Amino acid sequence: MLKFTVFRVIPAVDIKDGKVVRLVQGRRDLVTVEIENPLEVARMWVERGARVLHIIDLNGAFEGRLFHEETILKISRLAEVQVGGGIRDLSVAESLLNGGVDRVIIGTLAVKDVKSVKDFANLYPGRVMVAVDSRMGRVVVEGWIKKTELTPIELAKVYEDCEVSILYTNVDVEGLVSGVDIDRIAEVVESVSLPVYVAGGVSNVEDVRAVKRCGAAGVVIGSALYTGKLKLEDVLGEEE
């Protein structure tokens, strides 16, 4: 089973219409940040000390196909990257991995076609992240629009026999910079043997420390960094 020995602080680079944006709770109509040139934004985080970047193709998440592959592959040359958003065809996932992406994040497909995703994960051990996106305690798919009956723990446990990692995102607090729901995070981390990365709601250094204390493998930070509420340099010291 996959093991981890380090905790990672991971800046998010969400791309929509060729720009880096931040959305509130994944809603495409609620844009709080908009910055030109994703490649330069990614380069800035790397220069400031980020070892891993979290890249999401938001157009892809909404439309079901990748839109920004060229930009994503350029960013992958700067640092270790995990990439998601609209990867609903495993040939696309394979192309990204072969193109230099370190890990692909699979969400909708991980719910709809478990066998195929497991087979793919076995071909690429350690290079698949299963996105467990939760709204009001239930997994959501297709750009966080469609609600399923699965709980986050139920979905995560489906993949415990694979060498994958879990990306747990609490959509209820995503983009609000209002603080993490540490109880829900702890439930997921403690319920599975897989490495769990956490996203959603991070607002300060203590949120990062709380996520780390839960035993998570890393934390993805977006809006808090882009609004200046949190400085990357202030939390990189939490890495091991």
CATH of domain 8-234: 3.20.20.70
What is the predicted pLDDT for the residue at 33? 78
Q: How far apart are CA 198 and CA 221, in angstroms?
A: 9
Q: How far apart are CA 206 and CA 219, in angstroms?
A: 12
What is the predicted pLDDT for the residue at 5? 60
Domain ranges of the chain: 8-234
- pLDDT tens profile 197-216: 999 889 999 999 999 999 99
Q: How far apart are CA 17 and CA 7, in angstroms?
A: 32
At residue 225, φ and ψ (nearest 5 deg) are: -75, -45
DSSP string, 196-224: EEEES---SHHHHHHHHHTT-SEEEE-HH
In sequence order, the β-bridge partners of residue 12 are: 54
Active centre residues (catalytic): 14, 133
What is the predicted pLDDT for the residue at 22? 78
What is the predicted pLDDT for the residue at 121? 98
Per-chain mean pLDDT for the chain: 92
How is residue 4 annotated by DSSP? -
pTM as predicted: 0.93
Alpha-carbon distances, residue 13 vs 10, 82, 121 (angstroms): 10, 10, 24
Which residues of the chain register pLDDT less than 70? 1-5, 24-30, 32, 174-178
DSSP-derived 3-state class of residue 103? strand
Query: How many other C-beta atoms can be found within 10 angstroms of the C-beta atom of residue 97?
Result: 19
- The tokens of 12 are what? 């998010």
At residue 116, φ and ψ (nearest 5 deg) are: -65, -40
What is the predicted pLDDT for the residue at 3? 45
Say if residues 232 and 45 touch (Cβ distance below 8 Å). Answer: yes
CA nearest to 56, candidates 32, 23, 78, 31: 23
Alpha-carbon distances, residue 35 vs 20, 21, 31, 85, 233 (angstroms): 5, 6, 11, 19, 21
